[in-house]
Chain A
């Protein structure tokens, strides 16, 4: 569909049925604050690192980071993750929205980083899918610095070894 059709242009009779239709769109732009989780995104973009957080009370490590531990109700502290972990779950997508459309088919999964309490949802890049199964070792890779945006699409996981 042409871009102009998505704007607030003139209405017309629909091809689908005898009704009048009006083109419209909800286009809102944001500057999303990463708030207290900002160190994760800064380290991702500027240093190519995955940061997590640790609860000083129970030692749970969170990546994706949480700024407080929901068991202890204590503020967490920043720690650097090793970038290595274990594949927990995966799938392969053949259909995608705009963010992923150039990469179809793509692999997506959950990797539990070393020491982390929960897996992190991530893209997986593979040469050969036949080894893909829960439990295999994975490691993070980052896009080169000049391509990094500070977004979660800056990193992906590959088979480790």
Chain B
């Protein structure tokens, strides 16, 4: 298997609404920035993987096709990935495989999403329910939020995790977003303000929820020879893991202590491939899928950042804050930064690349040499994608 590097990236700012731009325009702006950062032009691109989650969101069933030609990429391959919130992570994996296999040398990944043309939030949530089991969940009006509540309620009952603990994730991630000029929701808020925001679905208040965003992110991946030619500072993709669980919310087999078993499996695969033995020692920065505040606490444990049941205590001690032993979501994550669904997993990888190159500005984690991007999709993390990146080979 050939080595694969991130050699360039670009993204739009993330906003609740980019009403002045169509989704092909958002994609173009991210791609142009990625091209400009490397000097690559469209003719150098061998293949493109698009991460675009939802047909009802984007009001199109083949959105990749309508972007691709306008990027000047006619007659080059276009592949679209759609895997809920893990869309972007799995798009990166598909691009990785095209290069690692020796099939292609330079592959572009484009994550983009536009949800706000739907007339209102009820239409948006209805569109989300279309991902549920056709006969037994869609027709019950079951939304993904409920599936991300249940495991957190189980965690609260088992380990004594509190609504205040959950709120602290929101406080941290909104504060981190203050140092990210592309973030949608930079805010200095308190635990009390989170707790007093409207209850949406127990135990989540409005400020415990991820954002709904529009925006795009592009990544350029290359084989080793091309990467060395294109940049002095490549970031290597050292491990990729991908896993799934039942798409039905309640069905889970042989999970043991794990509340998000696909995450544990995807991380195990990525860690083994990258040689990560002790995540806290071996990883210095992580961008993870905080679709809801409580999910981030579960992820600390599933990813091996701490022991089962200790996630909330480690959070309170500041382990995952900027300046802590393993800062999580310096970008602001999905709660403070963005959640333009198809773009999210791509943007997580771009953020880690920025961190490892020392290009993360005010949100820089000093000395980070290895980082993790983790995204989830479907009900209760039914898709999981984990990517380990590092710069240690660059000496």
On A, residues with C-beta under 8 Å from B are: 1, 5-6, 14, 16-19, 24, 26, 32, 34, 37, 41, 64, 88-100, 108-110, 118-123, 133-134, 151-153
Contact = CB atoms under 8 A, between A and B. Distances in A.
B248 A64 contact: yes
B381 to A, nearest CB: 14
B200 A153 contact: no
Contacts of B367: none
A58 to B, nearest CB: 13
B85 to A, nearest CB: 19
Contacts of A120: 136, 250
Contacts of A119: 250-251
A93 B201 contact: yes
A97 B202 contact: no
User: Chain B interface: which size bin?
Assistant: 35 or more
Nearest to B136: A64
A152 B137 CA distance: 8
B349 to A, nearest CB: 31
B293 to A, nearest CB: 14
A16 B139 contact: no
Interface in B97-137: 119-120, 122, 125-126, 129, 133-137
Contact of A118 (B140, B141, B202, B248): B248
Chain B contact residues: over half helix, strand or loop, or mixed? loop
Contacts of A16: 17, 19
B327 to A, nearest CB: 30
- Count chain B CB atoms within 10 A of each CB in A6, A97, A119 and give the residue with the most: A97
Interface of B: 17, 19-20, 56, 59, 119-120, 122, 125-126, 129, 133-137, 139-143, 145-146, 149-151, 153-154, 157, 198-202, 246, 248-252
A124 to B, nearest CB: 11
Contacts of B202: 91-94
A94 B199 contact: yes
A14 B117 CA distance: 12
Interface of A is mostly: loop
Given A32-B134, A100-B141, A118-B248, A91 B20 contact: no
Contacts of B154: 89, 134
Given A91-B202, A93-B201, A108-B146, A121 B122 contact: no
Given A26-B59, A91-B153, A91-B202, A98 B122 contact: yes
A39 to B, nearest CB: 12
A34 B250 CA distance: 21
A109 B149 CA distance: 10
A134 B150 CA distance: 10
A153 B135 CA distance: 11
A92 B201 CA distance: 6
Given A18-B20, A97-B126, A153 B139 contact: yes
B17 A121 contact: no
A89 B151 contact: yes
15 contacts: A16-B19, A64-B136, A64-B248, A89-B154, A91-B150, A91-B202, A92-B202, A94-B200, A97-B143, A100-B141, A110-B150, A110-B249, A110-B250, A152-B139, A153-B139
A68 to B, nearest CB: 15
Nearest to A149: B139
A-B complex: 3 closest residue pairs judged by Cβ atoms = A99-B141, A110-B250, A89-B150
Contacts of A91: 146, 149-150, 153, 201-202
Contact of A19 (B20, B129, B141, B251): B20
A140 B186 CA distance: 46
Contacts of B134: 32
Contacts of A14: 19
A14 B136 CA distance: 39
A19 B149 CA distance: 38
